[in-house]
Amino acid sequence: MFPQNVLSKSRWLALVFAGCLSACAVGPDFKQPEAPKTSSYTETTLSKKLTTAPGVPGGTEQEFIEGADIEAGWWELYKSPELDVLIKKALQQNPNLGAADAALRAAQENVSAQVGGQYFPAISAGGGLTRQLQPSAIYGLPYGSDTYNLYNTSVNVTYKLDVFGGARRAVEGARAQAEVAQFQLEGAYLSLTSNIVTGAIQEAALREQMQATEEILKAQTNLAEVTEKQLVIGTVSKVDVTSQRTLVSNSQVDLFNYERNLAFARNQLAVLTGEVPSNASITKFDLSKLHLPEKLPLSVPSNLIRQRPDVRAAEAQLKAQNAFVGVATANLLPQFNITGSIGSAALTSANLFGPNSSLWSIGGGILQPLFQGGQLLAQRRGAIANYEQAAFQYQATVLKAFQEVSNALRALETGAQALKAASDAERYAYETLDLVQQQYKLGTASYLAVLYYQNQYQLAKVKSVSAQATRFSDTAALFVALGGGWWNRTGPAFQPKDIANKDQNETSGNN
């Protein structure tokens, strides 16, 4: 049993502890930054419906829906089962996403560590056995010395009173840093899914462009062979032959570049899914099998800063630095500590818990820093500078967010117009080629004319494929610029099938 006076002191300590928790914390309280005061993303008004190009992939009519929410699985609007499978695999295996998830868990555990270390007293228990030899002279006795055993046990309590709120600011900062890690994970999730979507679109576009280039090369090679035969009979000059051979060589270079870029695109998709390129089984994508989302959600500008993971991470970092200013300020003020212990000591183990073996102590202390070479003041000035840096970084992140949305909207508008023009050019080139081929059959056009317009048609087709891919990619860019709908996701960002040795670093204690 504890002595009565110890219990009364304990009650007093509990009251002090509660009072300290309710006291005001030094340093500025964090205020959430306001959204930019604007009602539009672009300098000029956008059309609600975009230009269409009927009959070609990516030519579907698109319409902006103001104030509409974004689906968590926005890529499913492309209606590609192969794309869905690829993204699902990436969410299970991508190492960068896994690293961001682990960083979040570490930050959350740091919050728990800060709460335990800052808000609660440190309690420890110990015991010991000492065998001692002491001369009797230390007791003022003239004879010999004594050898004896000393047994002791004790429970020690140490608590730092949070009078000025430094501990609360430290916990607040740790929680804000956990928020940073949370939104960095969401950013990694958004980046991963968007990279796979754009990578699949690029893979499909490169494949079609390579096929069109192969047809161009075939037509150019045939024309070069005809030109060489005409050189022999003297109907063309050597310049005509070398010029045509130059076109053939340039198309071969283009073909090699497409082959290289296609391999790079497939390798990138493999790595994004967490596999080495040699072992990955990446689907061959086709633009004609991708569906262009028809309804494009357009969030109101004031909501953008709550939707973008990078803006939310920058805001959380600002909150953390604000809290650390409070910590640095509290370090300049007096520090109050309370210590206490209770235990027992005896010469034999049998008497260790006897009636005359109890001992206890309780004490308090105050420490006011007076001179440390300007260290504490410099640390506070540094904390304020860090806060100012975070504020500027937040502003830059917000401006970048609005810039990316504006760019995506303009890209969609001009991309739709470009696709219409490119599809018209392809159609006109095909019609011209068809007319020349008919004239050739009637004997009113030369074979060289047929080959020439065939080449023109293939070039127009390459540009049309590029415009189609751009339309799909620009649509994905808008979803990403608006935040990607992560707030509507029900499951975790990282969805591994299994993590080996997940608990290998966990201990059974609560230290």
Task: From first to last of the 511 residues of the chain, give the pLDDT tens digit.
Answer: 334 443 344 444 444 444 444 457 888 899 999 989 998 999 888 889 999 999 899 999 999 999 999 999 999 999 999 999 999 999 999 999 999 999 999 999 999 999 998 888 888 988 888 888 878 777 777 777 778 788 888 889 898 898 898 999 999 999 999 999 999 999 999 999 999 999 999 999 999 999 989 988 988 888 888 888 888 888 778 888 888 898 889 989 999 999 999 999 999 999 999 999 998 889 999 999 999 999 999 999 999 999 999 999 999 999 999 999 999 999 999 989 999 888 888 888 787 887 888 888 899 889 888 888 899 999 999 999 999 999 999 999 999 999 999 999 999 999 999 999 999 999 999 999 999 989 977 878 887 888 888 889 988 999 999 999 999 999 999 999 999 999 999 999 998 876 544 444 443 344 5
Burial of 134 (0-12, 13-18, 19+ CB in 10 A): exposed
Instruction: State the Cα–Cα distance between residues 65 and 194, nearest whole angstrom.
Output: 21
Burial of 216 (0-12, 13-18, 19+ CB in 10 A): buried
pLDDT score for 197: 97
Tell me which amino acid residue 216 is.
Answer: I
Contacts of 418 (CB under 8 A, 6+ apart): 467, 470
In a domain, 204, yes or no: yes
In a domain, 366, yes or no: no
CB 46 within 8 A of CB 65: no
Q: Give the orientation angle of helix 81-93 with respect to helix 166-233, to 10 degrees.
A: 130
In a domain, 405, yes or no: yes
In a domain, 454, yes or no: yes
In a domain, 129, yes or no: no
Region class of 154: left (phi > 0), else alpha (psi between -120 and 50), else beta: beta
Instruction: State the Cα–Cα distance between residues 188 and 474, nearest whole angstrom.
Output: 20
The CATH number of the domain holding residue 320 is 1.20.1600.10
pLDDT score for 373: 87
pLDDT score for 499: 53
In a domain, 360, yes or no: no
Instruction: State the Cα–Cα distance between residues 360 and 340, nearest whole angstrom.
Output: 7
- pTM for this predicted structure: 0.86
pLDDT, one tens digit per residue, over 196-245 is 999 999 999 999 999 989 988 988 888 888 888 888 888 778 888 888 89
In a domain, 363, yes or no: no
Q: How many CB atoms lie within 10 A of CB 286?
A: 14
Domain span holding position 195: 22-120+163-334+377-488
Total of domains in the chain: 1
Length of the chain: 511
SS3 290: coil
Beta bridge partners of 160: 337
Cα dihedral 41→43→47→51 (10° resolution) = -100
Beta strands 295-298 and 63-66: pairing type?
Answer: parallel
Instruction: State the Cα–Cα distance between residues 291 and 412, nearest whole angstrom.
Output: 16
Phi, psi of 373 (to 5 degrees): 70, 25
In a domain, 268, yes or no: yes
